A and B are shown apart, each in its own frame.
Chain A
């Protein structure tokens, strides 16, 4: 069953359109990366999924129903939008207890999720004094309270140290492996390359790509062959498609084997002939270069 389904989701603020006609699905058993430059409309979309912002047009359902119709929503979907959006005066335990009670989640579950994120020892401390990493874990604990089938995270690794990033990455993979639908936003392609199975890429509020990670790389960028040679200009003349750089040529569309043969035929000595794999990063940059909010 589809975990999240958005249909023609649109959000306008006066003249500005933050999200335009987005339709997509998030499915169980995988991590779906929600990717786009800052200001692309990722957070707005997530707030609409959670019923916090009202769409200007279109609709979105969670587990088949609009968010407002979920009786105990935390048992269906757990979300972490902003780890610092908590009352700093409350202890971690009371914070989670208040959230649990609102959805008729037993008190014992609070201790379980505290242990799961490694915060049992600081359960009595005021949240105001927590580091970003601890706050992030607390937010994840809150998302896990209802043991939901769907998890949603907005930029969960922002500002975390490498340990924290690794922890969250492993955590998300584990949740997906257990059959949950994980929907996670990021503006960092490299992060998604290591975590996501499926990608939804948006720019300026519009859909750019909705595809598997592998296809995404394959489709948008083919990679190139780097050629270095003492007789670069002669070689360049033979390869009209090549892009000339100071000490090498960048050839797209011709396999390295062919380039090697061509050089041999003309007795041109080669110093390097390398196929450069396309990276997710490059694919992403290429796709979003037209939709950056602030381009230089």
Chain B
């Protein structure tokens, strides 16, 4: 397994798309927070319905798409180029290959996500301080929400990898990731009745984003509960992908 992990790490670090998508994720995270905090700091009107912490993690949905895109590419680029057949000749145990990809990608993405979250947090607090909107690391729930943000980004990446392995086609998998992370959660709020509300509450990022909120409202899923629901979505797609990968011709 160590051999396969080293090999997957070599594959990941040796293509440019890895660096570019991580950079994009990092900049989206930092850029949105900077942009909004600077404009808030320079406006006279009070802003309502938005806390300083909300502004700090503003770029997360977009950065999450960048991570998902890389997750898709990690496997779909192998199917696009035909490299997958070389990979499977070297490692014919398909689940070993998939697990190695998942593991290497998870560790790298978690590290980049943690760095992006930390840099963004510390960069914008001094700007928000001008309006008294800043938060400190020691404030209640802040550390948990920051760790949650990094985990949320990583989970988005894994959702992409699972979709890439399932769909094996780059544009299709990226579109599906955007749909599941950004679009469908919003649309699900239009579902009628109590049943619709329950579906919407548990829908991918509607549940997953609770882990990066400082407080969750009454009747809402708790932070870790919500994140567990999001991970369950990722797991179901990943298991479907794994089962198909074992059965399909490469």
- Give chain A nearest CB distance to B39 CB in angstroms: 38
Q: Which residues of A contact B87 (CB under 8 A)?
A: 102
Is A22 positioned at the interface, with any CB of B under 8 Å from its CB?
no
Question: What CA separation (Å) do A51 and B87 show in the bound complex?
Answer: 12
CB contact under 8 A between A87 and B10, given known A50-B89, A51-B92: no
Pick the residue among A73, A98, A104 that contacts B14 (CB under 8 A): A98
State A87–B83 Cα separation when bound (angstroms). Answer: 6
Residues of chain A contacted by B85 (CB below 8 angstroms): 47, 50, 52, 81-82, 85
Q: Judge whether B90 and A103 touch: CB under 8 Å.
A: yes
Interface string of A68-99 (1 = CB under 8 A from B): 10100110000101101111111100110111
Contact A88 B81 (CB under 8 A): yes
For residue B188, CB closer than 8 A to chain A, the reply is: no
A109 vs chain B, min Cβ distance (A):
14
> Whole-angstrom distance from the CB of B107 to the nearest CB of chain A?
17
Which residues of A (201-250) have their CB < 8 Å from a CB of B? none
Interface pair B15/A73, CB less than 8 Å apart: no
User: Known: A53-B249, A87-B78. Contact between A68 and B10, CB under 8 A?
Assistant: no
- Chain B residues within an 8 Å CB radius of A170: none
Contact mask A48-76 → B, CB, 8 Å, 1/0? 00111110000000000001101001100
In the complex, whether B6 has a CB less than 8 A from a CB of chain A is yes
Check if B93 sits within 8 Å of A87, measured CB to CB.
Answer: no
> Does residue B242 face the partner (Cβ distance < 8 Å to A)?
no
Most buried by A among B10, B86, B247: B86
Nearest CB on A from B86, distance (A): 7
A113 adjacent to chain B (CB < 8 Å)? no
Contacts of B17 in A (CB 8 A): 89
The answer to whether the Cβ of B44 comes within 8 Å of any Cβ in the partner chain is no
For the complex, give the distance between the alpha carbons of A8 and B77 in Å.
35
The answer to whether the Cβ of B187 comes within 8 Å of any Cβ in the partner chain is: no
Chain A's interface size range is 20 to 34
Given contacts A73-B89, A98-B11, contact A53 B3 (CB under 8 A): no
Kindly state whether residue A20 has any CB partner on chain B within 8 Å: no
Chain B residues lying within 8 Å of A86, measured Cβ to Cβ, are 81-83, 86
Known contacts A47-B249, A104-B3; A87 and B15 CB within 8 A of each other: yes
Do A91 and B14 have beta carbons less than 8 Å apart? yes
Say yes or no: is A101 at the interface (Cβ < 8 Å to chain B). Answer: yes
Q: Are B7 and A84 in contact (CB under 8 A)?
A: no
Q: Which residue of A79, A85, A102 is within 8 Å of B4 (Cβ)?
A: A102
How far is the CB of B103 from the nearest CB of chain A, in Å? 14
Contact with A along B60-86 (1 / 0, CB 8 A): 000000000000000001100111011
Chain A nearest CB from B75 CB (Å) reads: 12
For B7, give its contact among A85, A101, A142 (CB under 8 Å).
A101
B115, CB-defined interface residue at 8 Å: no
**Is the pair B92, A102 in contact by a Cβ cutoff of 8 Å?**
no
Contacts of B77 in A (CB 8 A): 87
Given A87-B77, A94-B10, A103-B3, A73 and B92 contact (CB-CB distance below 8 Å)? yes
Query: Which residues of chain B from 234 to 250 have any CB-CB distance to chain A below 8 Å in the complex?
Result: 247, 249-250
Which residues from B are CB-within-8-Å of A50?
A: 85, 88-89, 92
Interface string of A180-204 (1 = CB under 8 A from B): 0000000000000000000000000
- Shortest Cβ distance from residue A92 to the other chain B in the assembled complex, whole angstroms: 11
- Note all chain B residues with C-beta closer than 8 A to A87: 11, 15, 77-78, 81, 83
Please tell me if the beta carbons of A142 and B86 are within 8 angstroms of each other in the complex: yes
Q: Is the CB of A70 within 8 A of B92?
A: yes
Contact partners of B91 in chain A: CB under 8 A: 102
Residue of B nearest to A96 (CB): B10
Taken together as a complex, chains A and B put the C-alpha atoms of A244 and B78 apart, in Å, by: 59
The 7 closest A-B pairs by CB, nearest first: A85-B82, A102-B7, A94-B14, A101-B7, A98-B10, A53-B249, A102-B90
Can you report 19 A-B residue pairs in the complex whose CB atoms are below 8 A from each other? A51-B89, A52-B85, A52-B89, A52-B249, A68-B93, A73-B89, A73-B92, A79-B89, A81-B85, A82-B85, A85-B81, A87-B83, A88-B81, A94-B14, A95-B14, A99-B86, A100-B7, A102-B3, A142-B86
Binding site for B on A (CB under 8 A): 47, 50-54, 67-68, 70, 73-74, 79, 81-82, 84-91, 94-95, 97-104, 142
CB within 8 Å of A: which residues of B?
3-4, 6-8, 10-11, 14-17, 77-78, 81-83, 85-93, 247, 249-250
